Chain A
Amino acid sequence: NAGVTQTPKFRVLKTGQSMTLLCAQDMNHEYMYWYRQDPGMGLRLIHYSVGEGTTAKGEVPDGYNVSRLKKQNFLLGLESAAPSQTSVYFCASSFGGHEQFFGPGTRLTVL
């Protein structure tokens, strides 16, 4: 089992460009999450999904969109990247029952 995988691992964007981050899990988990991690801020929830075809906003959703078309995948989109979105993005999944398994992260820099 690969667990939770994220692509890409690194990305540099210019302000205004768009991109999609892909998260995939092979544990048949129902719940999936996107967090961002900034120095001194801990991890903050962007969006989450409690099942295929569902999405909901977390603590810091502005500037991001998500889709969960397949149970195993959770996509995070940035339509028009801003320097404030420079961060490390983590995807996580959970069967339900609280324990979350995290991916290795995507380091995004917006110039």
Chain B
Amino acid sequence: QQQVKQSPQSLIVQKGGIPIINCAYENTAFDYFPWYQQFPGKGPALLIAIRPDVSEKKEGRFTISFNKSAKQFSLHIMDSQPGDSATYFCAASKGGGGADGLTFGKGTHLIIQP
């Protein structure tokens, strides 16, 4: 049972475009929704995260939109750059400080063309 579904699997966008990656979750006990960025040969690194009491969060060029009723959230990258080319994972964790770990989506391989 895949608790966090991510789409698309891969995405190619021209420099300056706005790639959008979508995730949907099933477990209503989830209360923390991070996005991780991973470059080849490296571990994932936290990019931005949101809790379900807000509908949008921005950090620099990265924005999370959250729709609690639809159980969906998405990542938007404004003014995308070739350096943003990476694999992006959405994830979710439950209350209690996320002690029992993150549930990840399967990832989106993003390429930003110059």
Q: Do A and B come from one complex?
A: yes
How many angstroms between the C-alpha atoms of A82 and B55 in the bound complex?
A: 45
Which of the candidate stretches B12-20, B60-68, B78-86, B97-105 sits at the interface with the other chain? B97-105
Q: Is B49's CB under 8 angstroms from A98's CB?
A: yes
Cβ distance B99 to chain A, nearest Cβ, rounded Å: 5
Q: Which 3 A-B pairs have the closest CB atoms?
A: A102-B43, A98-B98, A42-B104
Q: Is B46's CB under 8 angstroms from A100's CB?
A: yes
Which of A50, A90, A94, A96 has a CB less than 8 Å from the CB of B44?
Answer: A90
Q: Is B43's CB under 8 angstroms from A99's CB?
A: no
- Interface residues of B toward A: which range? 20 to 34
Residues of B within 8 A of A75 (CB): none
Contact with B along A14-49 (1 / 0, CB 8 A): 000000000000000001010100001111110010
Cβ distance B46 to chain A, nearest Cβ, rounded Å: 6
Q: Is B106's CB under 8 angstroms from A98's CB?
A: no
How many angstroms between the C-alpha atoms of A25 and B113 in the bound complex?
A: 37
Using a CB-CB cutoff of 8 Å, which residues 30-79 of chain B contact chain A?
32, 34, 36, 41-46, 49
How many angstroms between the C-alpha atoms of A101 and B89 in the bound complex?
A: 14
Q: Is A98's CB under 8 angstroms from B93's CB?
A: yes
Cβ distance B51 to chain A, nearest Cβ, rounded Å: 9
Residues of A within 8 A of B45 (CB): 102
Q: A43-B104, A44-B104 given. 13 additional CB < 8 A pairs?
A: A35-B101, A35-B104, A45-B102, A50-B99, A90-B43, A96-B99, A97-B98, A98-B34, A98-B49, A98-B97, A98-B98, A100-B102, A102-B36
**Is B9 interfacial (CB 8 A cutoff)?**
yes
How many angstroms between the C-alpha atoms of A100 and B47 in the bound complex?
A: 11
Q: Is A102's CB under 8 angstroms from B102's CB?
A: no
Chain B residue nearest in CB terms to A91: B43
**Residue contacts A-B, CB under 8 angstroms, 21 given:** A35-B101, A40-B9, A42-B89, A42-B104, A42-B105, A43-B104, A44-B104, A45-B101, A48-B99, A58-B101, A92-B43, A94-B97, A96-B99, A97-B97, A98-B34, A98-B49, A100-B98, A100-B102, A102-B43, A102-B45, A104-B43
